[in-house]
Structure 1
Amino acid sequence: MPTTAPARQRKKSSSARRDDEAPIIPILARKVREVEQKAQKNKLGPTNRVKFQVIAFLVREERARVKGDESVSDGTRAELLKRLDGVATILAKTAARDTSLIQLLEVDQATTPVAKRMRRDWLLEAGVDLAPEELVIDDAKPKTAETAGPAIVSERAVRPEQVDARVESNPFLAPDLSKASACDHPRRRLDGWELMGPLYKAFALGSGGGSAVMPLPPVPEFDRLSPRGLAIMPHQSRMLESVREGHRSFLLADEPGLGKTAQSVLAASVANAYPLVVVVPNVVKMNWAREVQRWTPQRRATVIMGDGKDVDAFADVFIINYEILDRHIGWLAEIGLKGMVVDEAHFIKNLSSQRSQNVLALAQRLRDTVPNPLMMALTGTPLINDAEDFDAIWRFLNWADGTKPGDQLMERLDSTGYTPADKAFYPAARQAVIDLGIVRRRKKDVAKDLPDKLVADMPVQLDDEFGRSIAKAERELARRLADRYRRILEARGDRGLAPGEIDEDIVQLVAHGELEEAKAKDATGDNVFSMVRRIGQGKASLAADYAAQLQRSVGKVVFFAKHIDVMDTAERTLAEAGVKTVSIRGEQTAVARQAAIDAFNEDPAVGVIVCSLTAAGVGVNLQAASNVVLAELSWTAAEQTQAIDRVHRIGQDEPVTAWRIIAANTIDTKIAELIDQKEGLAARALDGEQTSDAPVESVQLAALKALLRDALQT
């Protein structure tokens, strides 16, 4: 027989008694810490913004209740108000970090259905008795401004001369009015639940395991799509068969090098989704035009440049880069688009950016005027730091609007029979999203003939005067961090630390403060950014020497760097070694860039191509080489992978080796380790691998923390 009476007879602690007086306060304290942690990583997505709003509202509501409750003693009231002020202080600090939150502090009520449900659920968790009208929350119609982005025509808008001729030549461009008018759907079981947070969590944890691939038809018996002389691969044909069967919404997340461009071009042909607009990074515009001509030679592509004066308005495929989309979005919305492809779709993950809003605005207009258009988001790296990076892509595909799932996803979630309170909800929810159109294949799964790639670290010693100055600056940075740590520890007094034990909270505080100062200064002074840049400068000639040695022994080599001065040094060193080079830089025109790529791939005399990580890290085919030299490290694993996969692609018939040049005995070594660790997020979310669920933090912050720990232990 259970013996619960003694537990009830125990004397309650003072904190427990205070919690009895205001049980919502511990919940608010826990929730505000969650929001604060997200803000520190610059990862405040829609769910956490709503959470911030609800916390602010409940703090005001609870403060008013405590002040007016005559049954509470003066001492208890003062303590409760002090704890509420603590929550409010954290809210204020968080809003100071992200000023877009300030307006949410001024909202005096939980206005949206999501906010109302969140408030209700927290109050119920606290054991508060709610009125019947507060228990049932009806969804309001979503605000179109949140999903449609900016006005369809911007101040910079232009209108090429041929556009009017195209519009007037087609009498069938009136908005489609055949869709059923909006009506109230029957109330669903999950209508009262906040679902976006659990959906992101399902991917962040890799719930259920397995690669994120929607059910695909088998490989067809005959290749009916490839033009003469070309052949699509089995994994590509399966995706295209799903288009043939009527599927029109895809997050094509195949690993880089598996032919996402070709699949998209052929998908448009299968779906007859013309006119088609393709939004791409500037560096790959010319390559997209080539791929359209290569795979669908019967179709015409036009590349939109600047003011669009040379646009072929009667083309089938319109290729435009993110930076100028706002100038052309107005007329693109008028020509009767039937499909839209967004290449390197992780570029739109920041919903506050103009390019993200432009893409979403055009996508919304397309859906408003065309029934079931072809919508494709392409990216081999859809997640950079957080599962909420999915948000903008899901909005683009109409799978969610940022506050709740779309109708199609909602039906799938409802049909699972689970709620977020059930453990089984998470694998079922992940699969429900995948089934909407996520296609993620890995090279090792679908391209058995594609050689494996090896990332090999090549340590170098910076032992000249410049190298010694770098080591001195790094020691000075470590000393400064350690001094700050000791001052804070002394000010806070004895925290019960054992001899030699490090207070990780203070380590986090010191490193974060240093990083914020460094961001303000960027490459000036002795900080983590200037340190890494100087290390890159110190490695430049050594990395170029190694590239020259490789070129003489293995043939063509791809050389990647982040900074222009490192590229300049590398080109001078290679020229002195008698190696002919070409380069890809951000300031080049598309024509000049393509000429450099062609020279490297086709001219036997060109031995090395010197590339900018940002300008040549995506959409460039350099498979004439099988060796890559990474002279400078990136801050993200995704950027490194993208660079290597310019060489490790379909058609490559040699093993690929990427040589990372690492400055020994410097912070460079730690950064390389941290980059490798960061690959775990994508593995969990997309490949179903079981990896550590440790919090994700920036490489810069982690490197500073490691530098501080080392200094404290010496």
Structure 2
Amino acid sequence: MQRRRAPRRDEEGLIPVLADITREVENAVRRPPVRPAVRTQFQVAALLVREERARVKADTALTPAKRDQELKRLDGVATLLAKIAARDTSLLALLAEDARVSDAAREYKASVMRAGGIEPPEEPERPAPAAPTQATDRRTEKRAEKRVVPQSVISRQMANPFLAPNFEAAAERAAAKPRRLAGWELLDPLFRSFERDAPGAPACMDLPEPRHVPVPQGRDLMPHQARVVAATTRGHRTFLLADEPGLGKTAQALLAAQAADAFPLLVVVPNVVKTNWAHEVGLWTPLRRATVVHGDGDKVDAFADVVIVNYEILDRHAGWLGQHGFRGMIVDEAHFIKNKSSQRSQNVLEISERIRTRTARPLLMALTGTPLINDIEDFRAIWQFLGWIDDEKPLGKLMTSLEDTGLTPADPGFYSAARASVVDMGIVRRRKVDVVADIPARRVADLPVELDDAAGRSIRASEEALTNRLVQRYRAAVEARMEGEVVDGVDHALARRVAAAELKDSSSKAKGENVFTMVRRIGQAKAGLAADYAAQLARNVGKVVFFAKHVDVMDQAEQTFADRGIRYASIRGDQTPKVREQNIAAFTNDPDVEIVVCSLTAAGVGLNLQVASNLVLAELSWTDAEQTQAIDRIHRIGQSEPVTAWRIIAAQTIDATIAALIDSKSGLAARALDGASEEDVPSSTDVQLEALVTLLTDALAGEGAA
């Protein structure tokens, strides 16, 4: 009789048992469909691989060589599990943080541990779940129905099905345990510490002096921006960046992500600035690829470095976003999550918690221009997003810092020390007047917006029709040439003649789509988005001037402000001098009047609105001079703060072309007005003509390339 071979030492313990189970699962997955019992085996094997890895790392009795050997064997099992999940991606759901572990799986897990020589811990009795109400059931079902997983995300999961567990994150959370302050209520004193008068108390963390911060060629970083990036380079990873609008929070956040290597990076933003964030990624981190999530995410690129999603559709995508492996998360206009009971806040907190669970020291940044000392309770959700607190107590480094003060809430000095501890966690607050030496006295900041509704599609269709008409005119002119008159490539002189003819016809026709009607329709389509941004600015910085060319755009903006309960004044061309003066006085003297809606032609000259330092240009002018006159309503003698003009531009339309042309001619206009140039100051006709020429030559160049 053949003697049974004694097992080798490397065949003993839990790891060989897990390897055998994994091979069984592999064979079963090759013969679909995968039975529930096989799915249970897969889930239990994956859970035990993670737990065994943690146990091996924490076992001080193991020599370094033995520990490395055990970890290598576990990596082999994990690699095989990853290959299995790539074959059947439905198994990935069993690895989610909120995946249900059935009673059968718990029993099977205990039997596997015993087979590996480990006695499983006693399971605590689980209380019977409370019967959900019908309303709760409906909300849960509705939320589950909404959630989607784009095909591109599934492809990425198949390419990289396992996210390596990072136990540093768990260790960091467990490191700071309350000692002296155990039993004290700390959150309420923390919030009250910001409400108490604290003359001279810093509202901004101590930031290092920057050395060399690499920026893309052609871009300049202001000193106050570079300090945040320098802090990130030194290892700081959580920021409540509350600089006033106009101080470049977007650039700071993206370059901080670059310094922290926090990619892939998730950016959650209001819808109105979604396109602008993608644009800024291209400017400040040009080697990183951005993708914008629209609707159900059919066109999202899950392999991109930066994923940009707006609050309104976050509920639909929160599931896969929480499991995507992000190493950083930025929440723009973070005061949007101040109401913790709102769905948008719950989605943000759910995703950030999953990121902190999976990634050790992720970069987390909350961006808002709202002053820190007003309604400090509104920042409860933001602090929780950053991982500074939970529902009951301070966490991690903040708790350690409070312990290190040696004080309790009963001590007089606790509040100032607590405030300093929170500020040092990463609060950054600078106003324009604080960094006036860093920034230009006047700047124009473009805000691209996406017209993705029916009006936007109609505008793009009209622009395509106009372009086709120009191309047909050009081709007809080429065919009518005299024999022997040949020009290689695009005949730019002929293109200008064709554009001039189209412009003449557009000016004389009362009906029909042309460059003028198209630009007006773009202004109407942008009105709501421009008003939305002006409302955000007013919330963050106080008074805002809103400029528009057409009455219907002004009407739509005023309706938006009225719907939001924002008080505004109006300056129009059909007002009597008395009404006009009353409205100006209301805006300049009444602190409750936050916005003045101005006609670009009626209010472009002769007004003093320097009580504001921010204005929104909802529609583009045809000349730089007209735009400058509007800006000069607030940028004038007596203005104590730098002025920012926010120019709303419809991306991927002729609007962007017109903006570029105005900018290209602004230098020529300045030189001519200063007497340094003999060239004529550009007129509105110049820009209109050049816009048509650009449409035509771009289309002809595209045909040549094709």
Bin for the TM-score computed over the shorter chain:
0.3 to 0.5
Larger RCO: 1 or 2 (CA < 8 Å, sep 6+):
1
Looking at CA atoms only, which structure, 1 or 2, has the larger radius of gyration?
2
Q: What's the TM-score, normalizing by structure 1?
A: 0.45
